[in-house]
Chain A
Amino acid sequence: MRFTRFACVIGIFFGLVFGANGFETEEQKIYSSSNATQTLRIISTADIEAFEPIVYAFQQQNPSVNIDYVVASSSELMKAIYEENASFDLAISSAMDLQTKIANDGFAKTYTSEATDALPAWAKWRNQVFGFTQEPAVLVISEADFSDLSVPTTRKELIDLLRDNPEKFTGRIGTYDVRISGLGYLFATQDSRNTESFWRLTEVMGRLDTRLYCCSGEMISDVAAGKIALAYNVLGSYANSRLKNTPGIRVVPLDDFLGVMLRTALIPEGARNPAASGLMIDFLVQLNGRPELNKLTGLPPINSLTLQEGSAMRPIRLGPGLLVFLDRMRRETFLRSWTNSIAQN
């Protein structure tokens, strides 16, 4: 490993760990630096493998910081910050809505620096929630199944394609089960807000006996294995990073509109070492200047230019609008409609 000079792994705990705290963590890894004087405790929804290059690069730049990296689901992360007295210095999550709620409810610290000032306005909120990646929701198709079909570029074309070829797609479509996946729920609710065709598409997918997944990774694997022909609303960054060692799949960004999720970081109110959190936030929001890390992690950094080029990209707006779909009555209504549409039999 390239960075063994700077860090050695003390311990890795796999599996579900029930700490004394009562929230579930999935993995924990401690990266200790040779001349560390402080520890930065991160709770994150990003897999260790995906985030590790960033940790090493950060420690190379800040050798005095040990990093304690804990992986948890977005809802457990929120629980850790809201209900438990778990002290983390930084919360990194792909659930923009939950991160926004944490900040709105007053559980996040304010932080400003030159680096955060340089962020575009749409990538931060209240100087508490900072976006550091922009990851679109894409369509992943199996090349084998589309050998004799034209690849859809809009949702309308996708609906027509599914309607016209029920024999090919019945049971062979995958999408998030929005009842269990926070990210899936976020993409689905933003779709419903942005396009009229979302509910028609859901109806059509429901009629074709769509398979529901918890995670992007499994959907991509199933497309690659030929179990399903297409997966809708897959996290583009995952799909792109799997492309090179997964033959037979293809990533299709729809160009009627492309919902873009921002992975965000915030400093919880109970942080013990907010100075180190600030260092990490500065590092994260400046990932744009480190294309080599982008290659290693597959996480596309914030870049206003890419948004101008592809006008179909529509970043989900940080702000109180994200609280709407977290409203328990609204969520209930949405899930009921969605369930009725997708699970028709």
Chain B
Amino acid sequence: MELGQKRRSIRWRLVIQLSIIAAVMSLAFFLAVRAVAEQAAADTQDDILAASATSIADALYSERGEVRLELPYSALSMLGTISEDQVFYRIVANDVTLTGYDDLAIPAAQDHSRTPVFSTTTYRGAEVRTVAMSRAVSTGNLAQDVTVVVAQTRLGLAATSSRITSSATAVAVGFFLVATLLSLFAAQSAVTPLNRLTKSVTRRGPNDLRPVVSEIPSELVPLVDALNGFLARLRASLTRSEEFIVEAAHRIRTPLATVRTQAEVVYRQMEKPKNKRSVREMIRAVDESSRSAGQLLEHAMVSLRTDQLDTQEIDLVDLMGDICERVRPTCDLKDIHLNLDLCAQPAKILGDPILLQSAVHNILDNAIKYSPADSTITLSLEKGDSYRMTFSDQGRGFGGADPANLVHRFTRGANVSDIIGSGLGLTIADEVVRAHNGYLEIKQNKEGIGACVSLVLPVS
């Protein structure tokens, strides 16, 4: 992936898309509410104007051949009930103004209809809503056409409209906020199965290659199937390579043993010191290869077993005692004293005895290997929150190498070239304690001489 390119989150994409939808709907809602409400307000004004004009038209009468009007009080007062707008009116009979505001325009579209005609015009510098209505009034023999015009400014309407607009705005904004909040939840719940899958995969140990079985939505089934297929292939491939190593190590070790025996025989028959030295070198190389092959075999065994632990109850005190007994002959050869500092009670844990023996044996073997003659190796077992098996020697330590790196395969201390080793001992111990949910602690001794390695295992 290119640097700086943003990873696009499904959740944020969902939130943004849902928010845009909410915004569009809020806007549509706002416009619709405002349009309907303003229309309703405008209709109310029109209705009252029409009622006013009708009541004026109804009050028209004729007297001595003239059209007369007794302007009804309610005709104008009713207009004052909805707002404090200005009110204008004009009554025209045969193009002569009978009463009212002489300069109030009569709507051009007047076709002498008996139904009210509405228009919006400007009068005295303000926008007015005007209604015009015609009525025939008979004066003696002839009927006169009388037009009633009533107009009202629209400030009340504007105030109503702005009130509606602000309420509609508030509701639309509220709707948008609530919808956005809900879309956050929706997006969160949509990606929950993904997160669950991610967690179930990341929680796994490095050697856990079982298929993924967590609950997943149908959309993720192909992905999980692909993942499981991949895991199966990986597992098969790993198993194959471990088997290959076992096979290879085994096939190398047996002929090497033969080579070594024959070399010993030859060595004894040699007389020239130069030749003897060469054969010794050869025997040493064979030992090293043999040990590496043995360690590789053991490591492969450990790797296989850690996938499928064969747990049973074991006592760490017994285990350490057994191994001490097993290495005592080697120690005696080098005059190394084993100092056991074990607790009196049994320290029982659930674990794989073969693996744990292998781990302890490897550590102890290292300690003996790097200890000088006539020194002491101290083994202790403490019980706190967890069991801590500590192996402390008086050897050369790690020569400045980073202890954390020593657990990597084939990594050895910086000062051990003269001693046979494969660089797999600590790797094996580390993998074993990890498989038992424990950890390996490697450091220089506090006193400055020797190494101190602890196997820490949880109390089960």
Contact = CB atoms under 8 A, between A and B. Distances in A.
Contacts of A104: 86-88
Contacts of B68: 329, 333
Contacts of B71: 324, 327, 329-330
A324 B69 contact: no
Interface stretch (B73-81, B111-119, B348-356): B73-81
Interface centre among A103, A325, A330, A333 (most CB of B within 10 A): A330
A2 interface: no
B72 interface: yes
A329 B66 CA distance: 12
Contact of B70 (A319, A320, A333): A333
Contact of B87 (A127, A193, A323, A333): A323
A5 interface: no
A125 B70 contact: no
Interface string A97-114: 000000111100000000
B125 interface: yes
A240 B433 CA distance: 111
A219 to B, nearest CB: 27
A321 interface: yes
Interface in B23-75: 68-75
A240 B99 CA distance: 40
B372 interface: no
Nearest to B80: A319
A106 B125 contact: yes
B70 A106 contact: no
Contact of A125 (B74, B84, B126): B84
Would you call the interface of chain B mostly helix, strand, loop, or mixed? mixed
A252 B124 CA distance: 45
Interface string A126-156: 1100000000000000000000000000000
B69 A320 contact: no
A323 B125 contact: no
B79 A320 contact: yes
Given A320-B79, A323-B87, A329 B69 contact: yes
B99 A327 contact: yes
B100 interface: yes
Nearest to B124: A106
Nearest to B84: A126
A316 to B, nearest CB: 11
A244 interface: no
Contacts of B77: 317, 319-321, 324
Interface residues of A, number: 20
Contacts of B301: none
Interface string A329-345: 11001000000000000
B79 A327 contact: no
A330 B76 contact: no
Contact of A329 (B80, B84, B98, B125): B98
B80 A320 contact: yes
A207 to B, nearest CB: 25
B124 A105 contact: yes
B99 A320 contact: no
A126 B124 CA distance: 16
A327 B87 contact: no
Contacts of B70: 329-330, 333
Contacts of A324: 71-73, 75-77
A186 to B, nearest CB: 13
Given A320-B76, A333-B70, A328 B99 contact: yes
A323 B99 CA distance: 12
A202 B384 CA distance: 117
A193 B77 CA distance: 12
Interface string B73-111: 111110110001011100100000011100000000000
Interface centre among B69, B76, B98 (most CB of A within 10 A): B76
Nearest to B83: A126
Interface string A253-270: 000000000000000000
Given A329-B98, A333-B70, A320 B125 contact: no
B86 A319 contact: no
A317 B73 CA distance: 12
A241 B72 CA distance: 37
Nearest to B75: A324
Contacts of B125: 106
A175 to B, nearest CB: 22
Contacts of B99: 327-330
A85 to B, nearest CB: 18
A327 B75 CA distance: 12
B139 to A, nearest CB: 15
Nearest to A329: B99
Interface in B393-412: none
A81 to B, nearest CB: 15
A36 B91 CA distance: 50
Contact of A106 (B72, B86, B91, B98): B86
Contacts of B124: 105-106
B73 A193 contact: yes
A110 to B, nearest CB: 10
A7 to B, nearest CB: 36
Interface string A43-75: 000000000000000000000000000000000
A92 to B, nearest CB: 21
A320 B73 CA distance: 9
A274 B87 CA distance: 25
A126 B156 CA distance: 10
B9 to A, nearest CB: 53
Contacts of A125: 84
Nearest to B77: A321
Interface centre among B80, B98, B100 (most CB of A within 10 A): B80
A265 B459 CA distance: 96
A66 B218 CA distance: 89
Nearest to B67: A329
A165 B352 CA distance: 133
A63 B86 CA distance: 37
Contacts of A329: 68-71, 91, 98-99
Contact of A321 (B69, B76, B84): B76
A106 B87 CA distance: 10
A266 to B, nearest CB: 14
Contacts of A193: 73
B79 to A, nearest CB: 5
Contacts of B74: 321
A323 B76 contact: yes
A119 to B, nearest CB: 13
12 contacts: A104-B88, A126-B84, A319-B77, A320-B77, A320-B79, A323-B76, A324-B71, A324-B76, A325-B73, A327-B69, A329-B70, A330-B71
Q: Give 9 closest A-B pairs by Cβ, nearest first.
A: A321-B77, A319-B80, A320-B87, A320-B76, A329-B99, A320-B80, A126-B84, A330-B71, A327-B71
Interface of B: 68-77, 79-80, 84, 86-88, 91, 98-100, 124-126
Given A317-B77, A320-B87, A324-B71, 20 more contacts: A103-B86, A104-B86, A104-B88, A106-B86, A106-B126, A127-B84, A319-B77, A320-B76, A321-B73, A321-B76, A323-B87, A324-B77, A325-B73, A327-B100, A329-B68, A329-B70, A329-B99, A330-B69, A330-B70, A333-B70
